[in-house]
Amino acid sequence: MEYPVESIRAAFPSLASGAVFFDGPGGTQVPQAVIDAVGSYYRESNANEHGPFAASRRSDEAVAEGRRAMADFLNARSPDEIVFGANMTTLTLHLARALGRDLGPGDEIVVTRLDHDANIAPWLHLEERGVVVRWLEFIPDDCTLDLSGLERRINERTRLVAVGAASNAFGTINDMPRIIAAAKQAGALTFVDAVHYAPHRPIDVQRLDCDFLACSPYKFYGPHSGVLYGKREALERLRPYKVRPSRAAIPDGFETGTKSHEAIAGVAAAVDFLSAIGDPARNGSGRRQRLPQALAAVMEHESRLFRRLMDGLLGMEGLRLYGIADPGRLDQRTPTACFNLSGIAAGDVARRLGAAGIQVWDGDYYAWEAMRFLGLGDKGGAVRAGICLYNDESEVDRFLHELGRIARAGSFEPDLR
């Protein structure tokens, strides 16, 4: 199937600006269908849940449809296993607090040095209860997890293993089946941060057999929102912190206060948009059953562009790339490049690219431990550029051209007014 990149790009109003959006790892643009869904909610369904009138019933249905959409996206057994929240960080902090009620001195949690701090700090907070946090380190040469010590870190005292499916800084895709299997053998729960993974690879929580998984729809073309998947039996054994009148049943007990109903309506629209990629008939009936094929097409497109990007980066004099660079192993990372140019601060590179209409990130992107481990924490971090489904070859070439120009100019600071 020929990837319909032009029709996909036409669905995103913001792309008409002419900017190159390589900032996707921090948040993607949204298609018109998502904008319409949010607007439609406000026009037709703007009421709180569980009321005895029509607008409230439509609001109930918007939330229910959002749960169904994310259950399809993650292949959860039931929409009741989908929890909505403000963002992944808030949901993870809330989950950690609930889990912490049943933990104490002698219990252990395993985290990794490679992760976003949203999958580290919430678990470190449990040290206040006497919980011991163990670390999985990573190999600096290619920024992959060092799993040689996996079995030594996970033992009969381990209560939870928290790991990222992919590094938001370096794109490294971790060996989730091996890590989850080791946790299960020890009788530990598993939490997967799939925020950076979800935009680029299909997720099947039943096949993974993880207990919890979190992702962020605004990283895959939806509104700013967070989603937590939890196995029904795992959620039911927890006692979430909540106000007394709110429902205790899952998933409501984990959704503190009034939800962002309009964002949830947009989340459903984003999943439907992804499901329709490569569907010339644009047939909504059973469309979500096509999600695996649609996401496979996206992955192939992104991988092709990323190889083009990496070829250019690896041939650029004075560029230091972080993460897997072997062309034969690029399928082990998402289409995200992290690098520095010799003699030029990462912030300067990002500003110069921004002045040329190319959006990238610099800094540590909250991969705080990883950047400190590489000695970049107090040096401005690194530049990050990510490919996503609406990017095309001309944008990759434009990025490489501008980056090469910056590299040749060196540390001279141009007038960016």
Residues 326, 227 share a domain: no
Do residue 234 and residue 326 come from a single domain?
A: no
- Same domain, residue pair 229 and 136: yes
* CATH code (residue 325): 3.90.1150.10
SS3 of residue 362 by DSSP: strand
> pLDDT digits over 60-87, tens only?
999 999 999 999 999 999 999 999 999 9
**Do 262 and 314 fall within a single domain?**
no
Q: List Cβ neighbours of 370 (8 Å cut-off, separation of 6 or more).
A: 113, 114, 115, 138, 143, 167, 169, 170, 364
Residues 372 and 225 in one domain: no
Residues of the chain with pLDDT > 90: what percent? 93
- Do residue 359 and residue 404 come from a single domain? yes
Per-residue pLDDT, 416: 39
Same domain, 228 and 202: yes
Domain assignment of residue 282, yes or no: no
Residue span of the structural domain in which 12 resides: 5-30+296-409
Report in angstroms the alpha-carbon separations of 188 from 30, 106, 153, 161, 215: 38, 14, 12, 7, 21
Tell me the pTM: 0.95
Q: Flag whether 286 is in a domain.
A: no
Looking at the fold, whether 199 and 58 belong to one and the same domain comes out as yes
Q: What is the CATH number of the domain that holds 221?
A: 3.40.640.10
pLDDT at 337 over 80: yes
Q: How many domains does the chain have?
A: 2
Q: Percent of the chain at pLDDT above 70?
A: 96
Distance, in Å, from the CA atom of 106 to the CA atom of 302, rounded to the nearest integer, reads 45
CA–CA separation, 202 vs 198, rounded Å?
7
Task: Decide: 340 and 320 in contact? Cβ < 8 Å.
Answer: yes
In a domain, residue 387? The reply is: yes
